Structure formats: structure tokens, C-alpha cells
Amino acid sequence: VMKADQDTKITRLIAGMARLQDTSNAFGLDISERVRERFCTLEAKSLESRRNEVGKRGSKSISQR
């Protein structure tokens, strides 16, 4: 359940970022490539860390039983 909640929040954040980018483009502003690259890197790290955490949580819950 927690993973689904996290996925939902991340999806909303990504959608929000896309809307902000569209808005900034509409006003002739440009979000730098560095910011975009950093966001993509953070997103990838987040996904990877969540996968690792899910595995750890699963093994902990099994050992506690």
C-alpha cells in the first residue's frame, strides 16, 4: 500500500513539473538542462531506492513472522 502511495505522489510531482515547464515555456522562460538532468537523476535514484526498500521491507516482514 505504501509503495502505491509513493508512486501516486511521484506521478503527481512529475505531472506538476511538466505543467510548470509548460507554463514557463508559454512565458518564454526556459528551465535549464542542468535542472532537468538533476530532476531525472533524482527520479531514477528515488525509483531505485524505493525498489531496494521494498525488498528490505519484504524480507524483514517475512523474518518477523
pLDDT score of 49? 72
Q: Which residues contact 31 (CB under 8 A, 6 or more apart)?
A: 20, 21, 24
Nearest to 63 by CA among 50, 48, 1, 55: 55
Q: Measured between alpha carbons, how far is 6 from 8 in angstroms, rounded to an integer?
A: 5
41-65: pLDDT as tens digits = 777 777 777 667 666 555 555 555 4
Query: Which of 1, 17, 13, 15 has its CA nearest to residue 46?
Result: 13
Of 26 and 55, the one with more pLDDT: 26
Q: What average pLDDT does the chain have?
A: 73
Write phi, then psi, for 30 (nearest 5 degrees): -130, 125
